[in-house]
Structure 1
Amino acid sequence: MHISQILEAAEDTLLLRTFEQGSEPGNQHMFKAEKGEMWWYSSQELWLGLGKQPKTSALIKIFRSLFFKRKDRWSNSITLDARSLSPESVEVIVNGIILGGYDLQLYKSEPKPLSAFFGNEGRLNILVEKESEETGAAIDIAQKTALVQIRVMDLMNAPSNYKTPQTLAQWAVDSGSENNYKVTILEKHDLQQMGMHALLAVSKGSDAPPVMIVTKYTPETYTKTIAFVGKGVTFDTGGISIKPSANMHLMKSDMGGAGAVLGIVELAAQLKLPVRIIGIIPSTENSVDGSAMKPGDVIGSYGGKTIEVIDTDAEGRLILADGLAYAVKHFSPDVLIDLATLTGSVIQTLGYEAAGLFTPNDNLANELTVAGEKTGERLWRLPVWDEYKEEISSDIADLKNYHGKPLAGAIVAAKFLEMFTEEHASWAHLDIAGTAFGDNEFAPGRAGTAYGVRLLREFLTSSVSNN
């Protein structure tokens, strides 16, 4: 798809006009401009209602839904009337339009064809009063962000027989080569020599060897280093503490944190953001065989602490423990953020509308929350008070990975992770279990959302501007 600013709409293009409620051109057309309402003013002009004072999340969904539902029958050329839209709105709308062309038919032998609009011959024209650098930059950001999100969604939606830790590693290597950032893959023998005992313990039941993916984007000038650590469990059976079979097929999505980290490093490199970014992804399968880690086992960790394994299905926090300790020891980042599809508890608390935010740092909490509100990838802060620390105390080891109680599960998981941050002053944990893989228009069931890519991009941009 080619996207460009224009000053006058051609006759052979479909004109798409948007209206907020209260600004519609008249009730004689029976058009109320309600959210998502469509009105064919003519065969070449489509009106779209945005509702009352639409937020970012609503705008994206309106356009994503519209373009997805008609993705097999759009005109090759579409003109968006953006003369009354801000550059920020243009960015959001263009992002939604491109995502509307997402194709989930990854492994169908005879996929249904998409409109040529979403291919190389398609044209999206942005009708403006006058061309501006701000609108041009918004279009560029929207396009690059959406294409990265689509790549992340493909990873999320891939089944485990097409997605192993080695798959994620190769994705990072290829991306680093194409986008000029460094990638180091720590293989199983490296992990053994380094003492990544927690990651290795989780991997014991799988034939697929674990890896630690380390990506480094370093701009020419920067004043801040931010490290992201993403959970990369490419399939999670629960291990010996095996999950119920009913929804186990959805556990191909248990690398949502890894997807967000892979995506933001690639996007930051493409946008040339002036901040050094470290992306660390401990990756493994959590499978079952005679060698698998067992409940009651005591394992080591890269940070030196011993861990009593109460539940092998609480494996994500184990591999993140090694990833966090590695980030702190080798990179001393100014900010440390981990992302993980970690607990069902956070879904019970927040549903599918927001991810859980855990940090003792008020300023960092505010920056992330503001970024989430602006992008529509929302966060809600939950406490990490020291009173919860007793829930992970162990009689036999330094700590245990699960408290075994039907309460405060997401908080206790965050307290466990905090123990491996060396009391980092600017650490945050994002539990994205309810937002990374959810019900949307892309599939009749659940599918990847690429949650976190836009959130982290906005956070990084704001962090640089406030520096």
Structure 2
Amino acid sequence: MILQTGRLKPQRSELSLGTYNLGHFKKNAVHPFFKDDFALSILSKKDFSSAFEKGLKIAKAQLEIFNLVDLPPNVVTPEYLSNWAAESGKRHGFSTEILGRDAATKAGLEAFLSVGKGSDKEPQFLIMNYVPENANDKTTHVGLVGKGITFDTGGLNIKTAGMLHMKSDMAGGAAVLGAMQLISDLKLPVKVTAIVPACENSVDSKSFLPSDVIGSYSGHSIEIIDTDAEGRLILADGLSYLIKNFKPEIIVDIATLTGSSVGTFGYECGALFTNNESISKQLQQSGDSVGERLWQLPLWDAYKSDIESEIADVKNYSGKPVAGAISAAKFLEYFTEGHKSWAHLDVAGVAFGDDEFAKTKHGTAFGVHLLTKFIENL
């Protein structure tokens, strides 16, 4: 049979990943695939139309995230992310609530707000909800949290290397945004609540200081050892807010969190931490099936001392040159309130790098397909 898809609208997100072009601000000729008169036919004895349409939706979501991660930080601000989420929700069928600085202050999101104090860009705490048709009390409820640091200078513990690529420090949050779009677009029969705390970690007289003791949404106090260990602070408030207000059965957070994970795995896979072996196997199997691999590292109590503080309930950095990804995961675990089905993905080495779609480093959209596949298989 001949499957005629019809004339494709000129939307880059409906094309294959191979059409991606990093030259967002260059004057380029329009690719033939983007033109109104482009049509695509598939010749096959079998009807692959449903698989074809699903593939286009996956590519569409991934291309959106390529854009979010690759656009410069003077474009992709916290407000840009919140606007993107609101618009995507309207198009694909998930609701969006945004807490700006005043609302976040009223809510008590102190750790999140502390990170954004040094920037003139207003922090945005994104809350998204997808509820499938015919949802009931037995519908599985998954919670996602993604790190949305739109640029990371390191704060007053300013980075001495690698700052050029720190526009990618929101890649975990972007993966959650892309997953929400794709989950809604595919109309998966799972309820999903997603949170992306979005802010900029900048340097200013108002920036939070090393040795500060700050509050958090959970009520726990945090000693600041290093202002460049900021991602775990906003994730802590994201996790606490999610657990207290939405009570999902399964929680996955994803973040470009530590250089330590890169030191362990290079650029081949993400680090996986979880207290649930079933969730671990499901995430790894889902990742293997879509080419977004994960490998588990321990959460043993032996590492608990790395986050113990003498002045506060917990400290945000061990100060040691070893086991950095593990101590960061232990910090996050502290704010999960003992949740029995939580997983943390440290994707610092795989969310931004070299691949076949560009000549220089760019966003990989790692996590979009992985999270969607994991939820699809529940």
Give the TM-score, by structure 1 length. Answer: 0.77
Which portions of structure 1, spanning 4 or more consecutive aligned residues, are displaced by more than 6 angstroms? Answer: none
SS in 1 for 2:74: helix
Counterpart contact for 1:101–1:118, Cα < 8 Å: no
Contact map agreement 2:14 2:57 (CA 8 A) in 1: no
Could you say what the CA RMSD is over the residues aligned between the two structures, in angstroms? Answer: 1.8
Matched, 1:298 2:213: yes
Q: Is 1:106 equivalent to 2:102 in the alignment?
A: no
The whole-number CA distance in structure 2 between the counterparts of 1:221 and 1:456 is 22
Query: Could you tell me how far apart the structure 2 residues matched to 1:352 and 1:114 are?
Result: 33
Aligned to 1:289: 204
State the AA in 2 paired with 1:227.
G
Structure 2 residue 141 is the aligned partner of structure 1 residue 225: yes
| CA distance, structure 1, for counterparts of residue 323 and residue 305 of structure 2 | 12
* 1:373 corresponds to: 288
Q: Name 2:345's counterpart in structure 1.
A: 430
Q: CA deviation at 1:115?
A: 3.8
**Deviation of the 1:335 alpha carbon:** 0.4
Unpaired runs of 5+ residues, structure 1, are 9-75, 78-94
Structure 2 Cα separation of the partners of residues 314 and 442 of structure 1: 31
Aligned length: 369
Q: CA deviation at 1:453?
A: 0.9
Of 92, 95, 114, the match for 1:182: 95
Q: Deviation per CA, 1:14-43, whole angstroms, max 9, x where unpaired?
A: xxxxxxxxxxxxxxxxxxxxxxxxxxxxxx
How do 1:32-431 and structure 2 match up within 5 A? 98-108=16-26, 110-111=27-28, 113=29, 115-131=31-47, 135-222=48-135, 223-244=139-160, 246-431=161-346
| Aligned counterparts of 1:204 and 1:241: Cα–Cα separation in 2 | 14
**1:159-207 CA deviation, whole Å, 9 max, x = no partner?**
1111110000000111111122210001111111111110111011100
The one-letter code matched in structure 2 to 1:158 is L
Which whole-Å CA distance do the structure 2 matches of 1:203 and 1:314 have between them?
Answer: 13
CA deviation vs aligned residue, 1:145-169 (integer Å, no higher than 9, x gap)? 1011111110000111111100000
d(CA) in 2 for partners of 1:408 and 1:428?
18
Higher relative contact order, chain-length normalized (CA < 8 Å, sep 6+)? 2
CA contact (8 A) 2:239 2:336 kept: yes
Letter in 1 for 2:2: I
Tell which structure's C-alpha radius of gyration is larger: 1
Deviation at 1:209, TM superposition (A): 1.3
Instruction: Tell me the SS of whatever aligns to 1:161.
Output: coil
Q: Deviations over 1:45-97 (max 9, x none)?
A: xxxxxxxxxxxxxxxxxxxxxxxxxxxxxxx99xxxxxxxxxxxxxxxxx997
CA contact (8 A) 2:3 2:41 kept: no
Q: Please list, as runs of the form range in 1=range in 2, the aligned pairs for 1:4-23 lying within 5 A after superposition.
A: 6=2
- Contact kept, 8 Å, 2:15 with 2:33, in 1: the verdict is no
TM-score (structure 2 length as normaliser): 0.94
1:19 maps to which residue?
none
Post-superposition shift, 1:129? Answer: 1.8
Alignment-mate amino acid for residue 336 of structure 2: T
Quick one: percent identity of the two aligned structures?
Answer: 50
Distance 1:97 1:274 in 2: 26
SS at 1:302's partner residue? coil
Match of 1:453 in 2: 368
**Cα offsets for 1:426-454 (capped at 9, x unmatched):** 00000011111111233332100111111
Q: Distance in 1 between matches of 2:189 and 2:296?
A: 28
* C-alpha distance 367-96 of structure 1, shift in aligned 2 (>3 A): farther
